[in-house]
Amino acid sequence: MQNNHSNLPEFYIGIMSGTSLDGIDAVLAGFSDNKYEVVSYANLDFDTELKDVLLELQNVSENEIHKAQLAANNLAIHYAELVSILLEKSGIAKDKVKAIGSHGQTIRHQPKKNDVKNAYTLQLQNPSLLAELTGINVIANFREADIAAGGQGAPLVPAFHADYFKHVLAEYTKIVVCNIGGMSNITILSQDKPVMGMDCGAGNVLLDSWIKHSLNKDFDENGSWAKQGQLNSDLLTIMLNNEYFKQSLPKSTGRELFNLEFIINSLNSLKISTKLNIQPEDVQTTLVHLTAKSIAQDIYKYADCKNDDKKLLAVCGGGAKNNFILETLAYYLADYKVCTTSELGLDTQNVEALAFAWLAKQYIENKPSNLPDITGAKKYKILGSLYKS
C-alpha cells in the first residue's frame, strides 16, 4: 500500500501488550508540529504457549529467570512481526521511523511509596533483539526512571491523554479519559486545573478470570454473560472494602492484587446463606459493577466538578467493547455524557499503543513525560532507555 504522508514528517511506532494478556496492539503514527495521527495499526494474539508462560511468570515458579528470558525473546519476535505488518500496511520505509516505543509485558508491579530499596516494576521484553530484528531504534523501560524517583511508575498515559485530547476541552469543561484494560485508569482533564490521574482498580482482569474459571472462556463477549446475572450488593460491598479503594493518591495496581484469588476470598467472606444462593453469572454481573463503581468513585472524589461543568467520559481499551460496562458506567455517572474515544477520532484499541509512540518521541526530544502529581515521583523525568539498532 502506498500512501501520501508528506504532511507528517516524522514517524514513530508504539507497541503495547497489557495486563489482560490478550495480545499485542501496535500503531505506526505520523507527527507534525501541530498534529499527529495513527497511519496504520495491527494486533496480534499471543499463541497459547506464550500466554501460558506469561501467566505463569506473574507468580513465583521454578526456573523463572530462564523462562522469563525465553519469553522476552519470544515477545521480541512477536513485536518485530507486528512492526513489519505496520510498515507494509503504511507503505512507509523503516528508515523513516525514528524509534519504536515498546512497553513490554508487565510480570511484576511493586511500587512502594518512599521505599526505593523495595520498589520495582518489571516489564519483560528484549529491546536489543527487537532493535536488531527491525533495524529501528527502540525505547523501552519507560517506568523505571519514575520508580527510581520515588514514583509509582504508573499511570504513564495521562500526559499523552492530556496532549491528545486537549482540543476536546473547547467543548467540555471536564473530560475523563478512562482506559479499561486489565486494570482501569483515568485521566481527568479540566479547563482550569492540572491534569490528574490514577489506577482505579481492576478493569477486565477479574471478568476474564471469572469467566475462565466458570465457563473456560477467555472473555465475556460484550458482557452478554454478565447481563444474565443479578448484582449481589453484599459481594460488591465486600470487594469495595478492599484497602486499594481507600488508598490515597498516588496509586497504581496490578494482577498481584486483582486476580482469581481476590474473587474467591471475597466470595468466602459472604454470609453462608448468600453464598449458597449466588450464581456464577451473578458474580460476573457484580464484577462489572465493581469495575464501573470503582471508576465512578474516583471520578467523584477527584474530578472536583462545578455544577455548571459540561462533563464527558471517554472510554478506551478492551472495556470499551463491552456494552454492559458502558451502560453500568452511565448508570453510576449519570451527569456525564459517556462515549468511547473512537467517537473522538481515536480507535479504542489504539490509544495505549499511540501513547507509547508519543512517549518514544518525548524521549528522543529529551522531554519529560511523567507527571509527578500523578505518579508521586520527586521530579519530572525523561522516561525510557535507548537500544540502538
Q: Which residues bind ligand ATP (CB under 6 A)?
A: 16, 18-20, 22, 179, 181-183, 204, 207-208, 219-223, 317-319, 321-322, 352
Nearest to 319 by CA among 244, 226, 235: 226
Shorter beta-carbon distance to ligand ATP: residue 88 or 221: 221
Q: Which does 19 bind (CB under 5 to 8 A by kind): Mg ion, ligand ATP, none?
A: ligand ATP
Closer CB to Mg ion, residue 15 or residue 329?
A: 15
Closest CA to 83 of 132, 9, 15: 15
Q: Which cell goes with 78?
A: 512477536
What is the arrangement of strands in the sheet containing 183-190, beginning at the earlier edge strand?
196-202, 183-190, 174-180, 311-316, 337-340
Q: Tell me whether residue 68 or residue 183 sits nearer to Mg ion (CB atom).
A: 183
The one-letter amino acid code at 351 reads V
What is the smallest separation between the CB atom of 173 and Mg ion, expressed in angstroms?
31
Q: Quick one: what does residue 54 bind among ligand ATP, Mg ion, none, with the CB cut-off 5 to 8 Å set by partner type?
A: none
Say whether residue 223 binds Mg ion (CB under 5 A).
no
DSSP reduced 3-state for 214: helix
Nearer to ligand ATP, 19 or 187 (CB): 19
Stretch that binds Mg ion, among 14-22, 74-82, 189-197, 243-251 (CB under 5 A): 14-22
- Output 98 or 293, the one with its CB closest to ligand ATP: 293
Least distance between ligand ATP and beta carbon 276 (Å):
29
Determine the interface stretch with Mg ion among 19-27, 73-81, 257-265, 373-381 (rule: CB under 5 A): 19-27
Residue selected from 14, 15, 18, 251 as contacting Mg ion according to rule CB under 5 A: 18
Smallest separation (angstroms) from ligand ATP to the CB of 320: 8
Task: Quote the CA–CA distance of 353 and 179 in Å, as a whole number.
Answer: 12
Does residue 153 touch Mg ion according to CB under 5 A? Answer: no
Q: How far is the CB of 132 from ligand ATP (least distance, A)?
A: 25
Smallest gap from residue 43 Cβ to ligand ATP (A): 9
204 binds, among ligand ATP, Mg ion, none (CB under 5 to 8 A by kind): ligand ATP
Write down the least CB distance from residue 3 to ligand ATP, Å.
Answer: 26
Identity of the residue, 160 or 172, whose beta carbon is nearer to ligand ATP in the bound complex: 160
The β-bridge partners of 42 are 26
Strand 174-180 and strand 311-316: the pairing is parallel
Provide CB contacts within 8 A for 44, sequence distance 6+: 23, 24, 26, 78, 81, 82, 85
Instruction: Provide CB contacts within 8 A for 169, sequence distance 6+.
Output: 175, 189, 190, 191
Residue 226, number of CB atoms within 10 A of its CB? 26
CB of 315 to Mg ion, least distance (A): 15
Q: Is 208 an interacting residue with respect to Mg ion (CB under 5 A)?
A: no
Number of residues located near Mg ion, criterion CB under 5 A? 3
Q: Does 22 bind Mg ion (CB under 5 A)?
A: yes
Cβ nearer to ligand ATP, comparing 3 with 224: 224
Q: Which does 183 bind (CB under 5 to 8 A by kind): ligand ATP, Mg ion, none?
A: ligand ATP
Looking at residue 98, its amino acid is K
Name the minimum Å distance from CB 352 to ligand ATP. Answer: 5
Work out how close the CB of 154 gets to ligand ATP at its nearest, in angstroms, rounded to a whole number.
10
Q: Which residues pair with 31 in a beta bridge?
A: 10, 36
- The number of beta carbons lying within 10 Å of the beta carbon of residue 12 is 27
Cβ-proximal residues to 63 (8 Å cutoff; 6+ apart), any chain? none
Q: Residue 301, Cβ neighbours under 10 Å: how many?
A: 10
Report DSSP state, residue 248. P
| Sheet with 10-16, edge to edge strand ranges | 36-44, 24-31, 10-16, 97-102, 138-140, 385-387
Measured distance CA(101)–CA(103) in Å, rounded: 7
Residues that bind Mg ion (CB under 5 A): 18, 20, 22
